[in-house]
Structure 1
Amino acid sequence: MTVRFFHTSDWHLGQFFYNHSRQYEHEQFLTWLIDQIKLKQPHALLIAGDIFDVINPASSAQKQLYQFLADAHAVAPHMQTLMIAGNHDSGYRIEQVEPLLSKYNAKAVGVIHKNTEGQLDLNRLLIPIYNEQQHIVAWCLSLPFLRPAEITGINEQTNDSKAAIAHLHQQLIAAAKQRKTKDQALILMSHAHMQGAETSDSERPIIIGNEEALSTALFDEVIDYVALGHLHKPQKVGQDHIRYSGSPIPLSFSEVNYKHQLLEITIDPQLASPERVQLEVLPIPRSIALHRIRGEMHDVLQQLSTLATGEIENIDQREYVDIEYHSLTPPPPNLRQQFEQALPENRYRLVRISRQYLSSEQDGSHTQAIQLEPPTPAQLFQNVWQKQGYSADDEVLNDFMSLVHEAEKILEDEQNS
């Protein structure tokens, strides 16, 4: 029996981009996705982690997700939405709304649970996917971002993270093999950093020195497709059926040239490879453009003046501009004003200016990047935290940013009252 599903990941709902909300861009993506669901009527939608941008997302970000689930269920009632937590998500948070999710034929796997015997609870990780006739056409092996505290110390095979990850994959795949029939597909969904994959500068590192990047050897040949999340660039890892879908919008200027996409996968277990798995790329329209301007001062001003004109009334819909100018001398005091005046009026948001400092020495030239924009709250927090002798890990930084966003919301409410 054939199974058809969409693979997406790394939505990062609630993200602020240089203090600008991405809500409009996410709304445009989700509206487009609803249209694709209505047109294609897949059996399942797989969201491979980092649904939200922070562990404690704003109510507006949560509303976006739940409104999407309601809209998707309305246009495709039989479709299942299967989600896993990423390293940006709170696994417990996305699981605790299970009664709400079930109303929209959705399910979330946020953490690795243990059963009453203290062993890994594999049943929660094995999710059947049904077709329109309510026959099981596939099993989804759902692995959220694996935190050591959840998977180590269970038995002698789980003494450290590497051994525990291998043990979990072996046990889960073995359990899936026992359940599947010859006409059912096996899909593994995971939020992880795989060896050999290409990163951008917007992904929060979850490995140290690439030593803990996972090997595709974890995936048994019986797995028909591996739906990965965490890295924002769409790419395959080693083999065609092991893929990152990538993020639906560019989450940093380093991703400006990424071809953001949704993957439509069709698997027919009755066929042999390579016909067994068919893949179609659905390009995601970009609702707001990002511009990276590079060069010496006169080159930058020239490039700015040639950008497209035409006012965009809503500031949240204006295009982003990142400038890096090259110079031998310190910046003039009216630098930002010069750049702003060169930009066509009321169309762009100049979100970052940096200087590439050029200096000539006897043994040649070298450059040093100098950031001219004021530090972000996250950067200030990390600097202070490190001076106190602490290491600002992901959870600490997420908690801090949640407080920042709550404070911003309070200020906004006070200004509007």
Structure 2
Amino acid sequence: MKSSKYSNIEAKAISMLEAHREKINSPGISVAVAIQDKIIWQAASGWRNIEQREPMSVDTILRIGSTSKALTSAGLARLVDQGTISLDDTLGEILTPLPNPNWSSIKIRNLASHTAGIPHYGDNTELMGLVKTVSLNTQYNNVTDAVKLFDKSDLLFEAGDKFEYSSLGTVLLSLALQKRADMPYQQWMKDQVFKPLGLINTIEENVKAPNPKQATFYIQESDTLRVKPWRPVNLSHRLAGGGWLSTSADLAMFGQGFLSYDFISESTRSDFWTPQALNNGEINHQQYAIGWRVHDVDLGEKIGQVKYAHHGGVSRGAQSFLMIIPEYGFSLAVNINTKTKTFSEFSAIVKPLTKLFIEASLANTLK
């Protein structure tokens, strides 16, 4: 898909995409670019299923891993705008009964910025829960049950003292969201985020009956160019922090939603894109805000340095990246159906594609 304003760079963009797919040895790749609330280019290359010779398309649905955290942040932002929850509300005020008394002073802000002290998967001291998060063979339809996998685990530190990335912390955040929304987390996300933004391909994974548009996910065999299908897994226990599925186009338009003050207020977006300080006053080392990382990037002489909000995701047989540049009303999402050795290998395509399309946008403005 292309916009006539960008047809002169389409061939170059596709060439970059195909070269990148081959370089990282991914079966398939998809990308979408949106500017000013419109998809201006999207493309796919390679295979969604090698064995069946099914090509990757712009409608192929993929696991997005921790990019799910950005989605959850939007659900939280909608609650904040309604006055139903505050970033400084504590779990002691929200959860009755409180699953773990040591959680009483943890704030929503802490959970959403990974400063709560909740462990990540491997640091969970609730041993049976740890086993279940490794076996990945159980369906969790209610986040209350997913939280039971770690509700007896030790805290890593007092809330706000340190930064420690934790997808389980985001799962706990989704329980607080569910309590204040007074409806299941999944329903709130569908009603308040996906439907308003028209995200028809952003879904939960159905392990027993996969969506017909869903990709097959692959593992790369060490030191070879061969890939094989990833074993069946159930990621429902981590939905809010790493379990949603989507397309690049849906994610790019989700990014546009975050730029719309009709969807999220200006003050709330400002709060959510402010990197959070620890109790000692220092900004956490990842520049993590409320469900987003926020950094500056130099896009070269024609564009210069810009602020961007972003989140990446790594899942079983998939990787995802979403970025938003508010100054240009720009969002880009890219997804693959395998996992590279390092995340930077996968995400290396983002900056050159971003430069290409923003430079073209600037040129179109001058015409």
Q: TM-score, normalised by structure 1?
A: 0.27
Structure with a larger share of its residues in strand: 1
Q: From the two aligned structures, give the one with the greater helix fraction.
A: 2
Higher relative contact order (CA closer than 8 Å, sequence separation 6+): 2
- Greater CA radius of gyration, 1 or 2? 1
